């Protein structure tokens, strides 16, 4: 819930920037992170180190673990004034969908949210359309309509209150609440 897609993207982007920064010039603070990781194995502290192997998993088990990991992501983000589900969230929704299909007794609440631009009343309508787009997506996968309910909070519950473009992007979202 708190580790959203944006941050994940940043987690990938920052080390990549660090690597590229190292290869060209090396005067930023990103140096420290790269030198740390490379010198880690060469430490001679006299302490012991343990090793191990990953358990052998069937493809089904691997899939389940992957979905379990993906389901920790509860938030789908949207473009400004748009309510179509972007392809980058297909995997996350796939994980939630599979889970809901396997567990027909589980119910999920889909909250729709908007950024603070426009009027609160229009944003309620926009938030509902986003929540419905997610519900429709899941229904398309085979999730029962009776497992899903919808509420739109419009611009009333922002995650980010900076009122910057980045903040707005974080607030335009649908949230799956079990």
Partner 1 sequence: MKTLGKWLLLGLVVMSMPARAALDIVITEGVDAARPIAVIPFVWQGQGPAPQQISDVVMSDLARSGTFNPLDELGLPQRNIAKVSQFVAKEWSNVAAEAVVMGSVKPMGPDQFLVNFELVDLVKAQMQSGNGPQSSSEYLIDSSEVVISAEQFRQYGHRISDIVYEKLTGIRGAFLTRIAYVVVKHGEKSPYHLMISDYDGHNEKMLLRSPEPLMSPSWSPDGSKLAYVSFENKKAEVFVQNIYTQARAKITSYDGINGAPVFSPDGKKLALTLSRDGQPEIYVVDIDTKALKRVTNHYAIDTEASWFPDGKSLIFTSERGGRPQIYKVTLASGKVQRMTFEGEWNLGGSISPDGRSMIFVNRTNGKFNIARMDLETRFMQVLTSTRLDESPSVAPNGTMVIYGTTYQGKQVLAAVSTDGRFKARLPAGQGEVKSPSWSPFL
Contact residues: partner 1, CB under 8 A: 116-122, 124-126, 128-129, 150-154, 156-157, 161-163
Dist CA 90 CA 72 (whole Å): 14
Pick the closer one to partner 1 by CB: 61 or 79: 79
**SS3 state of residue 149:** strand
Contact 162, 122 (CB under 8 A): no
Q: How far is the CB of 128 from partner 1 (least distance, A)?
A: 6
Q: How far are the Cα atoms of 32, 36, 37, 43, 93 from residue 40, in angstroms, in the given order? A: 12, 6, 5, 6, 37
The least CB distance from residue 156 to partner 1, in Å, is 4
Whichever of 7 and 80 has its CB closer to partner 1, that residue is 80
Nearer to partner 1, 95 or 133 (CB): 133
Closer by beta carbon to partner 1, 17 or else 151: 151
Minimum distance from residue 167 beta carbon to partner 1 (Å)? 10
Structure-block tokens of residue 108: 């999920």
- CA 141 from chain centre, in angstroms, equals 20
């Amino acid at each position: 819930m708190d580790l959203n897609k944006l941050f994940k993207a940043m987690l990938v982007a920052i080390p990549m920037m660090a690597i590229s920064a190292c290869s060209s010039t090396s005067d930023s603070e990103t140096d420290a992170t790269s030198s740390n990781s490379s010198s880690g194995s060469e430490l001679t502290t006299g302490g012991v180190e343990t090793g191990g192997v990953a358990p052998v998993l069937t493809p089904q088990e691997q899939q389940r673990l992957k979905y379990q990991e993906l389901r920790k992501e509860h938030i789908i983000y949207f473009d400004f004034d748009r309510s179509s589900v972007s392809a980058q969230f297909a995997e996350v929704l796939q994980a939630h969908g599979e889970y809901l299909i396997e567990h027909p007794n589980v119910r999920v609440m889909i909250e729709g949210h908007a950024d603070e631009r426009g009027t609160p009343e229009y944003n309620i309508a926009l938030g509902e359309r986003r929540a419905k787009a997610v519900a429709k997506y899941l229904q398309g996968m085979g999730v029962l309509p009776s497992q899903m309910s919808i509420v739109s909070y419009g611009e009333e519950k922002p995650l980010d209150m900076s009122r910057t473009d980045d903040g707005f992007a974080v607030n335009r979202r649908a949230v799956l609440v079990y």
